[in-house]
Structure 1
Amino acid sequence: MSSRHYIQQFRRNVTDKYTIYNSLFAALPFSGIANVGALLPILSQTCEDDYKSGKDPVQIINDFFHQHTQVHDEKEKIDRLFKFVQYIERQVVLFDAIEDAAFANVNNIEGPGSLKSLYNEAVFAGKTQALKNKLKKFRVRVVLTAHPTQFYPGSVLGIIHDMSEAIAKNDFHTINEYIQQLGITPFFNKKQPTPYDEALNLMWYLENILYHSIGNIYNFIERDIFDHAYDGENPFIELGFWPGGDRDGNPFVNASTTIKVAEALRSSIIVCYYRDIRKLKRRLTFSDVDVLLQELEAILYENVFRPTESEPVHASQLLQKLLTIQQLVKEKHHSLFLQRLNSLIHKVKIFGTHFATIDIRQDSRIHTQVIQTIHESLVKTEGKGLLPDHYQTMSPSEKISVLCSLKGELNPAWFDSITRDTLESIYAIQNIQQRNGEAGCNRYVISNCQGSLNVMEVYALFRLCGWKEDNLQVDIVPLFETIDDLAHAEKTMDELYQLPTYADHLKRRKMQQTIMLGFSDGTKDGGYLQANWSIYTAKENLTAISRKYNIKAKFFDGRGGPPSRGGGKTHKFYASMGSNIENEEIQLTIQGQTITSNFGTIQSSQYNLEQLMSAGISNELFADARIQLSQHDRYLMEELGSISHATYQQFKTHPLFLAYLQQFSPLNYYSKSNIASRPAKRGTGGALRFEDLRAIPFVGSWSQLKQNVPGFFGVGTALKTMKEKGLWEDVKAMFRNVLFFRTLIDNSMMSMLKSFFPLTQYIKEDPEFGTVWKLVKDEFNLTCNMVLELAEAAQLMDDDQPGRASIQMRDKIVLPLLTIQQYALYQIRNHVSDGPEKEVYEKLITRSMFGIINAGRNSA
């Protein structure tokens, strides 16, 4: 169907419904303040009009109160502003629920990118057997993270889900009740959540969404593509889980947390099976079958409600009983309700008793420190350490030789602090594997991996914790993030593949090596174009070096929600990977509001998972019909990346770069938001250093400024330079023919559409920071003009009208929040000293952050 059809559907099912249901907010029970609902539309219109006339946020807020209220006292003004924030937060929830309810109408569910469309394309091309062969080995792994890009507490997520169902049914009475529920439901955490809290929040998605959507996909493949004849072990889709295992810079994650989360995941999946068994009992009421189902129900009941007293059930036991029931239903009961039974069997095959695989992640510098600490402690207590006296002066290859020889069974209790926890976390992996199977926890990710030495340090720590060489059932996953690390990644892996100890380890791991590549920190380090191109070429180089040693590389992408962190229209990136990039698995992190927006309902979850699967499969299946990168395209990409990188680096090293963000954005307030257990920066030093700043507050702060620098800065200069070199027609041809480049530009357009410079245009008059604002604005204008000329488009996101309309509606809803936040920041900069008054403005800033981030969903 045409784009016009979907924009009409958007207006009918989203815009019009929002107008209707938004009117219900007028009756919300906001205590103590009358007419909030009546005044907010006036404030919203005032913001729109006054920004056009050049007014700044302080003028807009002051003029609004002067003209439309009797409020003149600053304290009363602040009270009103808090009520507006509270009101707008709930409008954002309503809009989320309406968009979720309209998903099937606004998106072509069975169109391009769906498995049904892929199957039809394969049939038409005579490639059904090729499709089946690919499906037997291809899989997608989505890894849920607790990275703080989403401010909804679990109670609000439930309301969004339930309200979207009521909206889909046009159940006006129930919708009205949910809106009233929203009015008195807290939207923020009174205290900082623990890693376990974060895990429990995400498990809501596992139980209520992904359990069903992944099961539906497996059912379709088994039934429609394999015609009920699939007997392979590939689950097609796997789940990963970082809360409770991601230690990188999070002092609140420890080994006991990891074990506790693993137990919660186990309990969660067994609850799902228990519910399904109870439903099956209502249908499978046949002789012998009913007895077996009762036995199964009893086993699951004990595991759910008496987990410490009962014998832990294993996936193999569940499957054995279910397959026995299946055989009985086929042979004696006319295969009645067989599909429902099969659906549960499929889920057990997918999720086992682990539900999602916990990944452990830690910074390479910690491992170096831990090994040295162990050595020094043993020298003190036993007179002999692990390492030679001159270890610190050895070359990396000499150190690796030493590490390869280490083994033992260290007792974590001998050590303190991070050393103790690092060792305990390695023992915890064994504990989890014994309870939940190897799939429960079998990957150790090394952040800031700068060489093969860092990988072998982790290998040595496993050997020192009693893991035997022939039974080390763990994948060691290097994570390359910075531009330099990406450039050296091939050399790192080449050294590892040549190392006999590590080569033997890979043989026991089926000659497969998972390699993680970080988009978020890559963009923060090198800018948008260069980071994406560096990751693309790193994948090609890593594929080549892995194939040289007959090793299957599996790439795990650390993608954030927004385009500037590798998100956006993610499936298009995978569809654009050439044959020089290994393509047996798609692995990526899903975080924050991307979980809500892409996986918030069963329908949207299934759609987005199918898009990922289809992108990876069609890339290989129909590769002969796709244009690959030519040598000239590579030259153009190298030039574009290099120019944009230099442009971004020049800006990043500006002496006021970080100070600008700290002064005019809520960067300094992320740590006060109580959104996540993880601190907003690495390290414990007082002054903020760029290298310690996490990618999420970095990108999020630019987003709240509505300047979105990480998504476009340097792109315009690079395109303009290529045009001046006489290569413009070549770049335009690459945009038409190369999906990778087109997707980069499309996502950059999304970042720019979400920018709004009138909000901060007052900064250009600032004697200190005016030049920084103008620098950003000039690059924005240039990039906007260049990409529109490149795409031959009249406006940003011209070819995605529903997406464009969604962004514009969300920006309209949130404009007063942005204005209120800038007003509070101004007061702190210019009129408030430390004390209670400052604390009130700080609270106003952080509360504004919640709604602004949530409204953006993919916020930059």
Structure 2
Amino acid sequence: MIHDQRAEKFRQIVENKFQIYNSLFMSLPYDKMTNIGMLLPFLGEESKNGYEAGKTPEDIVEDFFKNHIDLQTEEQKLELLFKIIQYIERQVVLFDSIEDAAFPSLHSESDNGTVTNLFERSVQDHKLEKVREKLEDFTVKVVFTAHPTQFYPSSVQRIIQDLRSAIATDSITNIDMLLQQLGKTPFVNKEKPTPIDEALSIISYLRYVYYDTIGELFTKIKKTFKNGNFHIHEDLIQLGFWPGGDRDGNPFVTADVTKSVAQELHSAILKSYYSHLKFIRRRLSFRGVAETLNSLSEELYAAIFTGKKITSEDILKKADEAEKVLVEQHNSLFIDLLINFKDRVKIFGTHFATLDIRQDSRIHQKVIDEVYVKLYGKIVASNEEKFNTLIQISNKVNADEFEDIVRDTLITVSQVSEIQGLNGLRGMSRYIISNSDAVKDVMNVYAFFKVCGYRDEEINMDIVPLFETMEGLTNAENVMNELYQNPVYQKHLQRRGNQQTIMLGFSDGTKDGGYLKANWEIYKAKEVLTKLSEQNGIKVVFFDGRGGPPARGGGKTHDFYASQGKTIANNKIELTIQGQTITSIFGNKEQAKYNFEQLLTAGVENDVFKNSKKDLTEKERALIIELADISYQKYSDLKAHPMFVPYLQEMSTLEYYGKTNIGSRPTKRGGGSELKFEDLRAIPFVGSWSQLKQNVPGFFGFGFAMQQMKEQGRFDEVRDLYKGSDFFKTLVLNSMMSMNKSYFPLTYYIKNHPKFGAFWNILFEEYKLSKNIMLELTGFTMLQQEDPISRKSVEIREKIVLPLLSIQQYALMKIQKGEGNKEAYEKLVTRSLFGNINASRNSA
């Protein structure tokens, strides 16, 4: 019933508004775009009907030209197609803005997963004390990454924010003006953004969304659960930051960039305090209080503009002085304002968000090898001997004696203490190692600190292995076991409070092992590492590399975390968010607050409210292993197909990701011209399947595994698993979301392709099989039936972008045939790719 009401509300306040405001586009004075609004529905219809009838994108676009517009030359046709793309891009922005503005109306304070709901439930179940206990010892950390899954220029970002406000108040005049501005504002970055551009783009979210959101949410939790001795710690909600620190595969992130971004974060939080203080001083105008706060303002100003050092302790000391006078002489008037400010200083320190360093283990090995040779000559030594020798070192190596990446790595490590001096120890506190699969990968980083002159007790950094391939996940237990036994590392962990963070990568896991296998291997790795860490007296924290669509570990995050049982450590929920996930899930205050609450309550519920559906029985576990292995074999066969990489290279947009100027990183690791599967980055890999509307990494092999069970007469076991396990149910629903965003008619034409026809048919058959068997399993009549709002949103977006997909496929076909202006068609593919990326934001 509630589902139906929400779906109807969505129709009224999102779909209907979109129809109305979309009509404003038709009268806009675009350059040479007079009839686009009239023509676009025709291309939409030609596309929909044409694909259902098995026409090729080339036929569809040519029929559109022939039936609806009289254009003779290729140049005229190309110009029109570019204009259509521009028009659709702006339609997407309008729909985003309308959907965002509707968010508060579609969600309520007492929804499942909100703080209010958690409080009511804890009172009903007599678990209030237990919830308070968990809140005192729990953390949610959201880590922003610069992965390029969406990158509007900042000028467009600002229009989007203003448009959202205008739509919220239904101000037609303002909406009309903003749509005109949108019509004339370029959507494409002329050049690739630098890592500093990426950092500044996300820092603006920190300042204008998260500073208030997290501060207000903290106050709300305090008030909701208040009790005499109850104290929630200021690290309850934390922010992490990768742009400018993540150098894995990004040669543009250097030590200088890292230092600059740390300074930008420092400056941004001080500016936030300065403007917050301005507001407080309007109320706290009393003698003794006003002078103290004025003096604090001046100190913040000096720190921002002259670089004078200020610590969070300095700020709090002044605020405490003001509070003392306020209490003793002014009846504590407006004291909440001051307490709120102090809470934020405790939450954000002088760092705002923790800047992580990340690099690939293979680069680290190169650094260790070169340092070892420089110090000890070309002595043949094992990797273990190298790090064991280097961690004993007591004199500093000179970074300038090395070149390129080795020099830069050593400078990066050397400046950690300097950044911690400016931003506090929370400002930079961990070093993440991609592609970890051995003890040396962690110990090499420890050795860096020693060769850079740090004494053991000065290494104020967590060293975090990232296990992401199937091999890495399988080795994780042995690696961590050996590390926990290593006397040098044991002492390091003691100094770090006996806490170990371990990162697990969904994106590369799925790329490597397929959807079901990757999810299961990560679940299993968490269980094993939880047990191992407990045996060694270590508090383990899992950091999930998730984000975007289900194929990258995205999907319904609250359900995912709420489905993890007591066999998995639940000390902290920590995950990455990126690109369109930032804008679509944490993009404005209402959404961010709601989604932070969802994460927080998922973690608390897991410990406090017992539910048999969270814990797997031996029988359920055995069945998941069986399904995962069958699915892995099916996916591995697909990966081994000789057409797998050529198909992506020739028929998808993979090669064009690097031309979109939406991110600073190259699209593949390694510098060779030949494309190898292992060098493919997970984002262009998953994104290319998404642009083809095939979403293979989100379902392939899953349906096949269930079909095998059915053929063995064991489908009832799968049904019981779906009903009995929240973990399995979440996997099924997320996979159905992936399929709901697939549209195979777009590429029907490939089934007769001489080179790729057979390969395309393998994909299509698995899609049909997976869709049918999952509908049978769930009892649904359509995909995403359980989430009508999300389903409706997807439906409207898919309708908006269908003409865009037609244009993209048309251009790809022209390029494959070698017809016409190759450069223009390549630009057409890139531009439509850009529009599609932005349109698929709700893939999160």
> Is the 8 Å Cα contact of residues 399 and 453 (structure 1) preserved in structure 2?
no
> Is the 8 Å Cα contact of residues 66 and 72 (structure 1) preserved in structure 2?
no
SS in 2 for 1:27: coil
* 1:524-543 correspondence to structure 2 within 5 Å: 524-543=511-530
- Alignment partners' CA distance in 2, 1:107 and 1:712: 29
> Is the 8 Å Cα contact of residues 372 and 390 (structure 2) preserved in structure 1?
no
* Contiguous gaps of at least 5 residues in structure 1: 379-383
SS in 2 for 1:857: helix
- Alignment partners' CA distance in 2, 1:729 and 1:488: 34
- Alignment partners' CA distance in 2, 1:329 and 1:731: 64
Does residue 341 of structure 2 align to residue 390 of structure 1?
no
* 1:647-796 correspondence to structure 2 within 5 Å: 647-796=634-783
Report the counterpart of residue 395 of structure 2 in structure 1. Answer: 408
Amino acid at match of 1:143: V
Report the counterpart of residue 367 of structure 1 in structure 2. Answer: 364
> Is the 8 Å Cα contact of residues 149 and 853 (structure 1) preserved in structure 2?
yes
Report the counterpart of residue 381 of structure 1 in structure 2. Answer: none
> Is the 8 Å Cα contact of residues 719 and 786 (structure 1) preserved in structure 2?
yes
Does residue 413 of structure 2 align to residue 423 of structure 1?
no
Report the counterpart of residue 598 of structure 2 in structure 1. Answer: 611
CA apart distance, 1:404: 3.6
TM-score normalized with structure 1 length: 0.96
- From 810, 817, 829, the counterpart of 1:845: 829
CA apart distance, 1:624: 5.1
Does residue 42 of structure 2 align to residue 42 of structure 1?
yes
Report the counterpart of residue 341 of structure 1 in structure 2. Answer: 338
**1:25/1:624 Cα in 2 relative to 1: closer, same or farther (>3 Å)?**
closer
- Alignment partners' CA distance in 1, 2:554 and 2:791: 17
- Alignment partners' CA distance in 2, 1:668 and 1:400: 39
CA apart distance, 1:30: 2.1
- Alignment partners' CA distance in 2, 1:658 and 1:459: 38
- Alignment partners' CA distance in 1, 2:231 and 2:300: 26
- 1:348-380 residue CA offsets vs partner (Å, 9 max, x unmatched): 1110010001100001011111111122334xx
Identity score, percent: 50
SS in 2 for 1:795: coil
> Is the 8 Å Cα contact of residues 392 and 450 (structure 2) preserved in structure 1?
no
- Alignment partners' CA distance in 1, 2:614 and 2:284: 52
> Is the 8 Å Cα contact of residues 529 and 644 (structure 1) preserved in structure 2?
yes
CA apart distance, 1:325: 1.9
Report the counterpart of residue 544 of structure 2 in structure 1. Answer: 557
> Is the 8 Å Cα contact of residues 647 and 717 (structure 1) preserved in structure 2?
yes
- Alignment partners' CA distance in 2, 1:628 and 1:664: 43
- From 450, 453, 460, the counterpart of 1:463: 450
> Is the 8 Å Cα contact of residues 190 and 674 (structure 1) preserved in structure 2?
yes
Amino acid at match of 2:693: K
Amino acid at match of 2:5: H
Amino acid at match of 1:710: P
Does residue 361 of structure 2 align to residue 357 of structure 1?
no
Amino acid at match of 1:691: E
SS in 1 for 2:755: coil
* 1:16-55 correspondence to structure 2 within 5 Å: 16-55=16-55
> Is the 8 Å Cα contact of residues 65 and 72 (structure 1) preserved in structure 2?
no
CA apart distance, 1:333: 2.1
SS in 2 for 1:141: strand
Of stretches 754-763 and 39-48 in structure 1, the one that deviates more from structure 2 is 39-48
Report the counterpart of residue 479 of structure 2 in structure 1. Answer: 492
- Alignment partners' CA distance in 1, 2:324 and 2:224: 21
- Alignment partners' CA distance in 2, 1:109 and 1:66: 53
- From 832, 839, 842, the counterpart of 2:819: 832
CA apart distance, 1:858: 4.0
SS in 2 for 1:102: helix
Report the counterpart of residue 259 of structure 1 in structure 2. Answer: 259
CA apart distance, 1:228: 7.8
> Is the 8 Å Cα contact of residues 146 and 591 (structure 1) preserved in structure 2?
yes
Does residue 499 of structure 2 align to residue 515 of structure 1?
no
CA apart distance, 1:127: 1.4
Amino acid at match of 1:377: K
* Contiguous gaps of at least 5 residues in structure 2: none
SS in 1 for 2:582: helix
- 1:669-709 residue CA offsets vs partner (Å, 9 max, x unmatched): 11111111110000111111110000000000000000000
- Alignment partners' CA distance in 2, 1:842 and 1:618: 50
* 1:152-551 correspondence to structure 2 within 5 Å: 152-227=152-227, 230-231=230-231, 233-307=233-307, 311-378=308-375, 384-385=376-377, 389-391=379-381, 394=382, 397-551=384-538
CA apart distance, 1:851: 1.1
CA apart distance, 1:229: 5.6
Does residue 603 of structure 2 align to residue 630 of structure 1?
no
> Is the 8 Å Cα contact of residues 368 and 386 (structure 2) preserved in structure 1?
no
TM-score normalized with structure 2 length: 0.98
- 1:385-406 residue CA offsets vs partner (Å, 9 max, x unmatched): 4xx8230xx3x65555334423
Q: State the aligned residue count.
A: 844
- Alignment partners' CA distance in 1, 2:113 and 2:331: 36
> Is the 8 Å Cα contact of residues 406 and 464 (structure 1) preserved in structure 2?
yes
CA apart distance, 1:773: 0.7
- Alignment partners' CA distance in 2, 1:79 and 1:784: 39
- Alignment partners' CA distance in 2, 1:533 and 1:297: 52
> Is the 8 Å Cα contact of residues 6 and 105 (structure 1) preserved in structure 2?
no
Amino acid at match of 1:729: D
- Alignment partners' CA distance in 2, 1:409 and 1:364: 22
> Is the 8 Å Cα contact of residues 403 and 456 (structure 1) preserved in structure 2?
no
Amino acid at match of 1:844: L
Report the counterpart of residue 573 of structure 2 in structure 1. Answer: 586
CA apart distance, 1:27: 2.6
**1:328/1:223 Cα in 2 relative to 1: closer, same or farther (>3 Å)?**
farther
> Is the 8 Å Cα contact of residues 135 and 232 (structure 2) preserved in structure 1?
no
- From 795, 799, 805, the counterpart of 2:786: 799
SS in 2 for 1:623: coil
SS in 1 for 2:415: helix
Amino acid at match of 1:513: Q
- 1:742-775 residue CA offsets vs partner (Å, 9 max, x unmatched): 1101000010000001100000010110011100
- 1:606-662 residue CA offsets vs partner (Å, 9 max, x unmatched): 000100000011000012565510000100110111011000000011001011111
